[in-house]
Structure 1
Amino acid sequence: MQGETIRLDVVEGVATLTLNRPDRLNSFTSRMHEEVRGALAKVKEGRAAGVVRVLVLTGAGRGFCAGQDLSDRAVAPGAAPVDLGESVEKNYKPLVLALRSLELPVIAAVNGVAAGAGASIALACDLVFAARSASFIQSFSKLGVVPDTGGSWILPRLVGPARAMGMALLGEKLSAEQAESWGLIWKCVDDEALMPTVQQVATGLAKGPTFGYAKTKQAIWASSTNDFETQLNLERDLMTVCGNSNDYREGVAAFMEKRNPNFKGD
């Protein structure tokens, strides 16, 4: 799938969605939102058909995503104010919900700056790898607005309220190495190793028990709002579902027969 602002490639069960406006650091326009929605729908269809088992999200050029392209919604002098909440409701909210609801591993390969909504989108993925030269910036405060695309929810859960508040209010650039040390992302790697590392991990996950991965995601995300007993009950219920899956049967059989498993994702 090739659009004006994105590319979607599928190889060996790994779908790679590339934000492709490198001249604008892959910042979002209405057109990009439309094309990303279409691409994620294709990924969801591919997951149902067993063709797509992992999604990698990255950016073309020297940036991952600089958030909203402000020129796409610039306000002329004397014009009526822009309803920013409407833009969040129409574009960013469904985008991040679609990412989080995919029943497969979602990996962000952050190849450069991830700013504003771009940072929130990366952090909404299941695994985040970042190039050593990459950075994360909560740039909303510079414009007099609040973190959106789930940023105000994700940040304090990843790094705690003190660091989340500092990032949100000060809008300082956070290096990939610092992001890793804070637990904001999974791993920082050398620039030239980013995509080979991500592709190796994605290919390995694509060969794995993706049915169980989807249920693991469900359990992890639910834990942030569940109390302990509710979470224990959810673990019990998900174990029951996983125990009835073909992937579980294949995993046990492969272990007993001392062979490599052939998981199908169901």
Structure 2
Amino acid sequence: MGVRIERDGRAVIATLDWPEQRNAMGPDECRELTEALTGIADDPDIHGVVITGNGAFCAGGNIKGAVARRDMSPEERKSIVYAAYQGMIRSIIAIPVPTVAAVDGACVGMGLDIALACDSRFFGPKGWCIQGWGRVGLIPGTGGEWLLRLKAPGLLWKLLEEQERLYAPEAAALGLAEIAGEAGALPRALARVEKLASMGRRPLEGYVDLYRGDLRDGLEAHLEAAVDRQIALLQSPGITDRVEAILGPVG
């Protein structure tokens, strides 16, 4: 199993655990995370879910694998993106209690989308993020543009232009994250859940429903548009050369 699930007080920790690939995720890894998150907060004593990673938070989607599937039909590609990649994002947004991303390493492309799908984010001293998708000539197929726009309207263009690593101070200044401090992001995320738990589960569920209302209302239409554009880009002339120039041979 590449996802570890642990209980810590009134929180559940979901740890991405593919350190050999810096938690980069293809369809199989996305399905595994979806399975792990489905029903993760069914226990009424759970008041929050923390998503983190072993080493890196998540170094993104398997872009080289997506490009290598060049012989697939658009319908086959769409099925994979909808069910595996976008399904993972849906599973995060469906969690009925507050979700916190604990970022103590690289958070790139789809990894940033996962963090943005959480209600709040803490960056530790080694935590950093980058938009990533635009650098390889793609758009976020997992809702990252919508998720970013809801958190920080207008910031997309700066991130696309600069494509630089944002560590905790810069991410906090831009409204993307909070600074965890020297202890790291995970302890700070767990402390948040424990403090929130004093409110009781039902009020927290109410806040979650209100906080994610706009996101849930617009999510499906956005994901549908995103998958269509992503597939068109993956089939466009020159995409293999561009990805290989940045990430290495596709195979």
Give yes or no for TM over 0.5: yes
Q: Do residues 167 (structure 1) and 163 (structure 2) align?
A: no
- The equivalent position to 1:126 in structure 2, one of 104, 119, 124, is 119
Question: What is the total number of aligned residue pairs between the two structures?
Answer: 215
Q: Distance in 2 between matches of 1:64 and 1:50?
A: 27
The one of 222, 227, 240 equivalent to 2:213 is 222
CA–CA separation in structure 1 for the residues paired with 2:50 and 2:159: 26
1:210 alignment partner in structure 2 = 201
Unaligned 5+ segments in structure 1 are: 227-266
SS state at 2:133 partner: helix
Q: Which residue matches 1:263?
A: none
| Alignment map for 1:97-108 (pairs within 5 Å) | 97-108=90-101
- 2:16 is the alignment partner of 1:6: no
**Deviations 1:163-210 (CA, angstroms, capped at 9, x unpaired):** 21221354332222111111112x112343322222222222234322
TM-score by length of 2: 0.77
Cα distance in 1 between the residues matched to 2:149 and 2:110 = 16
The separation in 2 between residues aligned to 1:171 and 1:27, in whole angstroms, is: 18
Is the 1:112–1:133 contact (alpha carbons within 8 Å) kept by the matching residues of 2?
yes
Structure with bigger gyration radius = 1
Aligned to 2:57, the other structure's residue is in SS state strand
Contact 1:75 1:81 in 2 (8 A): no
Distance of aligned partners of 1:6 and 1:49 in 2 relative to their CA distance in 1, 3 Å threshold: closer
| 2:191 maps to 1:194 | no
Q: 1:177 aligns with which of 134, 155, 169?
A: 169
Aligned residue identity for 1:95: M
State how far apart, in whole Å, the 2-side matches of 1:191 and 1:82 are. 48
Q: 1:111 touches 1:191 (CA, 8 Å); kept in 2?
A: no
Q: Percent identity?
A: 23
**2-side partners of 1:100 and 1:206: how far apart?**
19
Alignment-mate amino acid for residue 22 of structure 1: P
Cα deviation 1:63-83 (Å, max 9, x = unaligned): 10011123544517xx51575
Match of 1:139 in 2: 132
CA distance in 2, matches of 1:20, 1:9: 12
- Secondary structure, counterpart of 1:192 in structure 2: coil
Whether the aligned pair in 2 keeps the contact of 1:68 and 1:116 (CA below 8 Å) is yes
Q: Provide TM-score, normalisation by structure 1.
A: 0.73
- State how far apart, in whole Å, the 1-side matches of 2:181 and 2:98 are: 23
* Alignment RMSD: 2.3
C-alpha displacement of 1:86: 3.5
Quote the offset at 1:125 in angstroms: 0.4
Of 9, 23, 26, the residue aligned with 1:26 is 23
The partner residue of 2:61 within 68, 76, 80 is 68
Aligned to 1:58: 52
Residue 109 (str. 1) matches residue 106 (str. 2): no
Whether contact under 8 Å (2:61, 2:109) holds in the other structure is: yes
Query: With CA pairs under 8 Å and 6+ residues apart, which has the higher RCO, 1 or 2?
Result: 2
Is the contact made by 2:103 and 2:186 (CA closer than 8 Å) also made in structure 1? no
